[in-house]
């Protein structure tokens, strides 16, 4: 289903985005809302700066059309095919860097590698593990965390109220 410059599925999820010749220098802060997109056309835009972090989280992106002077995010290691033409550059077939690294120990023992967009990956803790390097077993104790935070805040507030109240009485 076509809506303006977006191609949507029945649920309203963005599948395609045609932003060619929109005079964009930067995709903008709301661009990440289109992270479900499969194809994005950004050709004929005066894009400036490094777009590498712009596509973090775009795990389903398979075709990206960019101006000739803009590099594909993640470089040649992130795409199956990069084709350069006179006026644009097409990045096709996002690679899964978790399969391509050749280093099985990239993530900790209780974690697993998950793709996070072109040129990005992240390590996610297995169920029942959390913390630094997924070393802590069990769940994060929210009650203890907020209990300590609340009691500390209350104590400091009472201390400051008492010391400032004394100064208020003398003036």
Residue 141 pLDDT more than 80? Answer: no
**What pLDDT, on the 0 to 100 scale, is given for residue 72?**
93
Average pLDDT over residues 36-52: 90
pLDDT in tens, 92-103: 999 998 886 556
End-to-end CA distance of the chain: 70
How wide is the angle at C-alpha 65 spanned by C-alphas 62 and 70, nearest 5°?
120
**What pLDDT, on the 0 to 100 scale, is given for residue 100?**
67
Average pLDDT over residues 78-88: 94
Q: How confident is the model at residue 3 (pLDDT cuts 50, 70, 90)?
A: confident
More confident residue, 121 or 103: 121
Average pLDDT over residues 149-168: 86
Q: What distance in Å separates the CA atoms of residue 61 and residue 116, rounded to the nearest whole number? A: 11
**Separation of CA 81 from chain center:** 23
Q: How confident is the model at residue 51 (pLDDT cuts 50, 70, 90)?
A: confident
Cβ atoms of 45 and 23 closer than 8 Å: yes
**H, E, C per residue of 75-139:** HHHCEEEEEECCCEEEEEEECCHHHHCCCCCCCCCCEEEEECCCCCEEEEECCCEECHHHCEECC
Q: Provide, rounded to the nearest whole percent, the portion of the chain with pLDDT above 90.
A: 51
Cα atoms found within 13 Å of the Cα of residue 57, Cβ hemisphere only: 8
**What pLDDT, on the 0 to 100 scale, is given for residue 87?**
92
Domain range summary for the chain, segments of one domain joined by +: 6-96, 140-168
Mean pLDDT, the chain, as a whole number?
A: 88
**What pLDDT, on the 0 to 100 scale, is given for residue 139?**
73
Residue 86 pLDDT more than 70? Answer: yes
Average pLDDT over residues 43-68: 91
Tokens of 73: 């995010």
Cα atoms found within 13 Å of the Cα of residue 164, Cβ hemisphere only: 6
């Amino acid at each position: 289903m076509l809506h303006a410059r977006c191609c949507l599925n029945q649920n309203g999820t963005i599948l395609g985005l045609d932003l060619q010749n929109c005079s964009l220098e930067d995709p903008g802060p709301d661009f990440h809302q289109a992270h479900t997109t499969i194809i994005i056309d950004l050709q004929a835009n005066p894009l400036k700066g490094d777009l590498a972090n712009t596509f973090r989280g775009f795990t389903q992106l398979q075709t990206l059309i960019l101006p000739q002077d803009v590099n594909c995010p993640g470089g040649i290691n992130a795409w199956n095919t990069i084709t350069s033409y006179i006026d644009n550059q097409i990045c096709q077939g996002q690679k899964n860097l978790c399969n391509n690294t050749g280093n099985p120990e990239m993530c900790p023992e209780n974690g697993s590698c998950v793709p996070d967009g072109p040129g990005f990956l992240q390590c996610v803790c297995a169920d029942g593990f959390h913390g630094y390097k997924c070393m802590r077993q069990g769940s994060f104790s929210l009650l203890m965390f907020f209990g300590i935070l609340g009691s500390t805040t209350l104590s400091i507030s009472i201390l400051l109220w008492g010391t400032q109240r004394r100064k208020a009485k003398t003036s």
